[in-house]
Amino acid sequence: MNLLWLQSGGCGGCTLSWLGAEGESLFMMLADENLELIWHPSLSEESAGEALKLIAGCADGSLPLDILCVEGAVLRGPNGSGRFHLLSGSGQPMLSWVRALAARARHVVAVGTCAAYGGVTAAGVNPGDACGLQFDGDVPGGLLGADFRAGGGLPVVNIAGCPTHPDWINETLISLARGALVREDLDDFCRPRFYADQLVHHGCPRNEFYEFKASADKPSDQGCLMEQMGCKGTQAHADCNTRLWNGSGSCLRGGYACIRCTDPGFEEPGHPFAETPKIAGIPLGLPSDMPKAWFIALAALSKSATPARVRENAKADHLLRAPTVKKAGR
């Protein structure tokens, strides 16, 4: 299967993340799955002219295109012309190339939240009129339209994340190469469900503090980051704390609150990322599927039962009190 990767309006961070994939080398993985990376702007050796010839061949159908990967949002400005972003050396807007290639591709993959929904590139007043391939924020449409289906029958597959995890990319590509990805394997925002059916909260190293609502007050504290520090891990769809980054890390393990970067609109939460908006002392962003009344009751009960050890450790930047050693059966 031929795989073509284009970079549009973004930072290239998803490519950098992809190169950090663990296990066998990236190129060995592609070879094992019979995936031919015919061109990637950061990894390929072709000259500019050779690259344009390859891309043009895919666009006119003379070179089969099985998987089109686009990283970064598509810039539609000014006035829908797309001329804020021309494909270097072609004189043509990137959006024109993406449309032509998507019409030929068996599968289309948006790599990262920018390509999926617009992401950081679409934040603020969005002077570039940036959008995702098949979503504009959380609204279906984007560049290709809500009804777009690639040659293989799927809508755009959105590997959302800022950046996306390298395993999410590899497992999606492998599933496509094996013909094992169907529409039911994608959620409402067309993210692969193998990671989007999880919550960042699952496996969070701060879960004991969350259970007792023992909250951090400042970034260096060990406590739960939800109540005061803006953490949205209980709402964010990803498996970041069970599928670690670089074998050992995640945002929460690094001391930073989850900002829900796999969701459309994460870039403009309406409040500072490291602050939790509240009404009458109750966080607006409650855990997924939890009624507000239940949260209030459980939070009050949890705080009243908080062990002194948990309360003290939550406000410290290191372990102050270790768990009590008890004999088995007591």
pLDDT computed for residue 282 by the predictor: 80
Residue 199 forms beta bridges with which residues? 237
What percentage of the chain reaches a pLDDT higher than 90?
85
pLDDT computed for residue 98 by the predictor: 98
User: Is-contact 286 278, C-beta < 8 A?
Assistant: no
Q: Which of 196, 227, 249 is the last residue of a domain?
A: 196
Q: Which of 175, 196, 217 is the last residue of a domain?
A: 196
- Residue 159 sits in a domain whose CATH number is 3.40.50.700
Same domain, yes or no, for 212 and 175?
A: no
Higher local confidence (pLDDT), 279 or 28: 28
- Number of domains the chain is built from: 2
DSSP-assigned letter for residue 283: E
DSSP-assigned letter for residue 274: T
Q: Mean pLDDT across the stretch 70-95?
A: 97
Same domain, yes or no, for 139 and 243?
A: no
- The C-alpha atoms of residue 112 and residue 315 are separated, in whole angstroms, by 35
Instruction: Give the residue from 91, 99, 77 showing the smallest Cα distance to 145.
Output: 99
Q: Could you report the per-residue pLDDT of 4-14, keeping only the tens digit for each?
A: 999 999 999 99
Helix %, strand %, coil % of the chain (to 5): 30, 15, 55
- The C-alpha atoms of residue 274 and residue 272 are separated, in whole angstroms, by 6
Q: Could you report the per-residue pLDDT of 156-179, keeping only the tens digit for each?
A: 999 999 999 999 999 999 999 999
- The C-alpha atoms of residue 31 and residue 25 are separated, in whole angstroms, by 10
pLDDT computed for residue 24 by the predictor: 81
Query: Is the predicted pLDDT of residue 330 greater than 70, yes or no?
Result: no
Instruction: Give the residue from 1, 205, 186, 6 showing the smallest Cα distance to 94.
Output: 6
Cis geometry, peptide bond prior to residue 163 (ω within 30 degrees of 0): yes
